[in-house]
Amino acid sequence: DQQVKQNSPSLSVQEGRISILNCDYTNSMFDYFLWYKKYPAEGPTFLISISSIKDKNEDGRFTVFLNKSAKHLSLHIVPSQPGDSAVYFCAASARLVSNDYKLSFGAGTTVTVRA
Amino acid sequence: DTGVSQDPRHKITKRGQNVTFRCDPISEHNRLYWYRQTLGQGPEFLTYFQNEAQLEKSRLLSDRFSAERPKGSFSTLEIQRTEQGDSAMYLCASSLTGSDYGYTFGSGTRLTVV
Protein backbone atom coordinates (compact mmCIF):
# COMPACT_ATOMS: atom_id res chain seq x y z
CA ASP A 1 0.00 0.00 0.00
CA GLN A 2 1.36 3.35 -1.08
CA GLN A 3 1.26 5.57 2.00
CA VAL A 4 3.04 8.48 0.33
CA LYS A 5 1.89 9.63 -3.07
CA GLN A 6 3.37 11.99 -5.59
CA ASN A 7 0.75 12.21 -8.27
CA SER A 8 2.75 14.23 -10.76
CA PRO A 9 5.45 12.09 -12.35
CA SER A 10 7.03 15.07 -14.09
CA LEU A 11 7.24 18.84 -14.00
CA SER A 12 8.77 21.20 -16.53
CA VAL A 13 9.54 24.78 -15.48
CA GLN A 14 11.38 27.70 -16.97
CA GLU A 15 14.60 28.85 -15.34
CA GLY A 16 13.92 31.58 -12.79
CA ARG A 17 10.32 30.54 -12.18
CA ILE A 18 8.85 28.71 -9.22
CA SER A 19 8.72 24.92 -9.09
CA ILE A 20 5.95 23.47 -6.91
CA LEU A 21 6.04 19.78 -6.09
CA ASN A 22 3.18 18.12 -4.26
CA CYS A 23 2.92 15.12 -1.98
CA ASP A 24 0.02 13.46 -0.16
CA TYR A 25 0.14 10.90 2.62
CA THR A 26 -2.42 8.59 4.14
CA ASN A 27 -0.84 7.41 7.40
CA SER A 28 -1.90 9.71 10.24
CA MET A 29 1.02 8.42 12.34
CA PHE A 30 3.52 10.22 10.11
CA ASP A 31 4.98 13.20 11.91
CA TYR A 32 8.21 13.95 10.11
CA PHE A 33 8.54 14.67 6.41
CA LEU A 34 11.52 15.02 4.14
CA TRP A 35 12.35 15.83 0.56
CA TYR A 36 15.21 14.14 -1.26
CA LYS A 37 16.76 14.98 -4.60
CA LYS A 38 18.27 12.35 -6.86
CA TYR A 39 20.52 12.67 -9.88
CA PRO A 40 21.02 9.71 -12.24
CA ALA A 41 23.49 7.09 -11.00
CA GLU A 42 23.60 8.63 -7.53
CA GLY A 43 21.77 7.93 -4.30
CA PRO A 44 19.11 10.35 -3.05
CA THR A 45 20.45 13.37 -1.16
CA PHE A 46 18.61 15.06 1.68
CA LEU A 47 17.14 18.44 0.79
CA ILE A 48 14.85 19.72 3.52
CA SER A 49 12.60 18.42 6.26
CA ILE A 50 9.66 19.50 8.40
CA SER A 51 8.15 18.12 11.57
CA SER A 52 4.42 18.00 12.23
CA ILE A 53 4.66 20.78 14.83
CA LYS A 54 5.44 23.26 12.05
CA ASP A 55 3.61 24.25 8.89
CA LYS A 56 6.54 25.79 7.05
CA ASN A 57 10.28 25.38 6.86
CA GLU A 58 12.57 27.40 4.66
CA ASP A 59 16.17 26.85 3.58
CA GLY A 60 17.48 29.19 0.95
CA ARG A 61 15.58 28.66 -2.28
CA PHE A 62 13.66 25.71 -0.85
CA THR A 63 10.52 25.94 1.25
CA VAL A 64 8.38 23.05 2.44
CA PHE A 65 4.77 23.59 3.49
CA LEU A 66 2.79 21.10 5.56
CA ASN A 67 -1.00 20.96 5.78
CA LYS A 68 -1.72 18.29 8.39
CA SER A 69 -5.48 18.42 8.10
CA ALA A 70 -5.24 17.71 4.38
CA LYS A 71 -2.32 15.30 4.82
CA HIS A 72 -0.52 17.26 2.14
CA LEU A 73 2.88 18.81 1.77
CA SER A 74 4.55 20.75 -0.97
CA LEU A 75 8.05 21.83 -1.91
CA HIS A 76 8.62 25.22 -3.49
CA ILE A 77 11.84 26.01 -5.31
CA VAL A 78 12.34 29.68 -6.06
CA PRO A 79 13.96 30.59 -8.37
CA SER A 80 14.43 27.35 -10.29
CA GLN A 81 17.89 26.76 -11.71
CA PRO A 82 19.16 24.28 -14.32
CA GLY A 83 21.00 22.35 -11.59
CA ASP A 84 17.63 21.65 -9.96
CA SER A 85 16.77 19.25 -12.78
CA ALA A 86 16.51 15.92 -10.94
CA VAL A 87 14.04 13.47 -9.45
CA TYR A 88 12.50 14.68 -6.18
CA PHE A 89 11.18 12.22 -3.62
CA CYS A 90 8.84 12.99 -0.77
CA ALA A 91 9.33 10.80 2.30
CA ALA A 92 7.66 10.42 5.68
CA SER A 93 8.29 8.75 9.00
CA ALA A 94 6.70 8.36 12.42
CA ARG A 95 9.91 9.27 14.23
CA LEU A 96 8.75 11.85 16.75
CA VAL A 97 6.06 9.90 18.58
CA SER A 98 6.88 6.33 17.63
CA ASN A 99 10.66 6.63 17.36
CA ASP A 100 10.25 4.98 13.96
CA TYR A 101 12.99 6.22 11.68
CA LYS A 102 12.23 4.16 8.60
CA LEU A 103 11.02 6.22 5.67
CA SER A 104 8.12 5.68 3.32
CA PHE A 105 8.82 7.26 -0.06
CA GLY A 106 6.65 8.52 -2.86
CA ALA A 107 7.34 7.47 -6.44
CA GLY A 108 9.11 10.72 -7.27
CA THR A 109 8.62 13.72 -9.53
CA THR A 110 11.09 14.41 -12.33
CA VAL A 111 11.78 18.12 -12.57
CA THR A 112 13.20 19.61 -15.75
CA VAL A 113 14.29 23.24 -15.66
CA ARG A 114 14.33 24.80 -19.13
CA ALA A 115 16.80 27.56 -19.97
CA ASP B 1 34.75 11.05 5.61
CA THR B 2 33.76 9.89 2.14
CA GLY B 3 30.10 9.27 2.89
CA VAL B 4 28.28 5.97 2.48
CA SER B 5 30.07 3.51 0.22
CA GLN B 6 28.46 0.58 -1.54
CA ASP B 7 30.17 -2.22 -3.36
CA PRO B 8 29.80 -3.35 -6.08
CA ARG B 9 28.11 -0.59 -8.08
CA HIS B 10 26.73 -3.08 -10.59
CA LYS B 11 26.14 -6.82 -10.42
CA ILE B 12 24.83 -9.08 -13.15
CA THR B 13 24.03 -12.60 -12.05
CA LYS B 14 22.26 -15.64 -13.37
CA ARG B 15 18.98 -16.68 -11.85
CA GLY B 16 19.52 -19.04 -8.96
CA GLN B 17 22.92 -17.68 -7.97
CA ASN B 18 23.67 -16.05 -4.63
CA VAL B 19 24.87 -12.45 -4.41
CA THR B 20 26.25 -10.35 -1.57
CA PHE B 21 26.44 -6.58 -1.36
CA ARG B 22 28.47 -4.52 1.06
CA CYS B 23 27.76 -1.15 2.63
CA ASP B 24 30.18 1.01 4.61
CA PRO B 25 28.26 3.72 6.48
CA ILE B 26 29.52 7.04 7.76
CA SER B 27 31.68 6.02 10.69
CA GLU B 28 29.89 7.87 13.47
CA HIS B 29 26.39 6.87 12.30
CA ASN B 30 24.76 4.26 14.51
CA ARG B 31 21.81 3.45 12.24
CA LEU B 32 22.07 1.66 8.92
CA TYR B 33 19.25 0.99 6.48
CA TRP B 34 18.73 -1.05 3.35
CA TYR B 35 16.21 0.02 0.73
CA ARG B 36 15.30 -1.34 -2.68
CA GLN B 37 14.27 0.79 -5.61
CA THR B 38 12.70 -0.42 -8.85
CA LEU B 39 12.17 1.62 -11.99
CA GLY B 40 9.63 4.39 -11.59
CA GLN B 41 9.22 3.83 -7.86
CA GLY B 42 10.60 5.37 -4.74
CA PRO B 43 12.90 3.45 -2.42
CA GLU B 44 11.18 0.73 -0.37
CA PHE B 45 12.33 -0.10 3.14
CA LEU B 46 13.91 -3.54 3.61
CA THR B 47 15.61 -3.55 7.01
CA TYR B 48 17.55 -1.47 9.48
CA PHE B 49 20.16 -1.83 12.17
CA GLN B 50 20.94 0.18 15.23
CA ASN B 51 24.57 -0.58 15.95
CA GLU B 52 24.82 -4.36 15.39
CA ALA B 53 21.19 -5.15 16.22
CA GLN B 54 18.76 -5.72 13.37
CA LEU B 55 15.67 -3.97 14.69
CA GLU B 56 13.16 -4.32 11.91
CA LYS B 57 12.64 -6.24 8.70
CA SER B 58 10.05 -5.50 6.04
CA ARG B 59 7.71 -8.20 4.85
CA LEU B 60 9.32 -7.50 1.47
CA LEU B 61 12.39 -9.26 2.82
CA SER B 62 11.74 -12.91 2.02
CA ASP B 63 13.65 -15.80 3.56
CA ARG B 64 16.09 -15.59 0.65
CA PHE B 65 17.34 -12.25 1.94
CA SER B 66 19.62 -11.85 4.92
CA ALA B 67 21.44 -8.85 6.28
CA GLU B 68 24.14 -8.53 8.88
CA ARG B 69 26.05 -5.76 10.54
CA PRO B 70 28.83 -7.35 12.55
CA LYS B 71 30.32 -5.12 15.25
CA GLY B 72 28.05 -2.28 14.21
CA SER B 73 30.28 -1.21 11.35
CA PHE B 74 29.81 -2.28 7.71
CA SER B 75 26.79 -4.28 6.61
CA THR B 76 26.18 -7.00 4.07
CA LEU B 77 22.98 -7.91 2.27
CA GLU B 78 22.84 -11.39 0.78
CA ILE B 79 20.26 -12.68 -1.64
CA GLN B 80 20.14 -16.43 -2.10
CA ARG B 81 18.74 -18.19 -5.17
CA THR B 82 18.18 -14.92 -7.02
CA GLU B 83 15.05 -14.44 -9.12
CA GLN B 84 14.41 -12.03 -11.96
CA GLY B 85 12.11 -10.06 -9.68
CA ASP B 86 15.10 -9.25 -7.48
CA SER B 87 16.50 -6.99 -10.20
CA ALA B 88 16.57 -3.53 -8.66
CA MET B 89 18.78 -0.85 -7.18
CA TYR B 90 19.75 -1.71 -3.61
CA LEU B 91 20.41 1.39 -1.56
CA CYS B 92 22.16 1.61 1.76
CA ALA B 93 21.82 4.63 4.04
CA SER B 94 23.06 5.63 7.46
CA SER B 95 22.04 8.15 10.05
CA LEU B 96 22.70 9.32 13.57
CA THR B 97 19.85 8.93 16.04
CA GLY B 98 18.16 12.28 16.59
CA SER B 99 19.68 13.95 13.54
CA ASP B 100 17.38 16.31 11.66
CA TYR B 101 19.25 15.85 8.43
CA GLY B 102 17.71 12.63 7.27
CA TYR B 103 19.70 9.75 5.97
CA THR B 104 22.86 9.81 3.93
CA PHE B 105 22.44 7.40 1.05
CA GLY B 106 25.09 5.54 -0.85
CA SER B 107 25.07 5.43 -4.65
CA GLY B 108 23.52 1.98 -4.62
CA THR B 109 24.20 -1.42 -6.13
CA ARG B 110 22.29 -2.15 -9.31
CA LEU B 111 21.45 -5.83 -9.52
CA THR B 112 20.40 -7.44 -12.78
CA VAL B 113 19.28 -11.06 -12.68
CA VAL B 114 19.32 -12.73 -16.09
Which is more confident, B51 or A97? B51
User: Closest-CA residue in chain B for A39?
Assistant: B107
pLDDT for the residue A97: 73
Size of interface A-B (CB pairs under 8 A): 53
Percent of chain A's residues with pLDDT above 90: 88
Task: Write out pLDDT tens, residues B40-61.
Answer: 999 999 999 999 999 989 988 8
Cβ-defined contact of A102 to B48 (cutoff 8 Å): yes
What is the arithmetic mean of pLDDT over A7-22? 97
Task: Write out pLDDT tens, residues B79-102.
Answer: 999 999 999 999 999 998 777 667
Residue B1 scores a pLDDT above 70: no
In this complex, is the C-beta atom of B74 within 8 Å of any C-beta atom belonging to chain A? Answer: no
What is the arithmetic mean of pLDDT over B1-30? 94
DSSP secondary structure string for all residues of chain B: ----EEE-SEEEE-TT--EEEEEE--TT--EEEEEEE-TTS--EEEEEEETTEEEEE-TTS-TTEEEE-GGGS-EEEEESS--GGG-EEEEEEEE-TT-SS--EE---EEEEE-
pLDDT for the residue B96: 85
CA distance A89 to chain B (A): 7
Residue A98 scores a pLDDT above 80: no
pLDDT for the residue B72: 84
In this complex, is the C-beta atom of B25 within 8 Å of any C-beta atom belonging to chain A? Answer: no
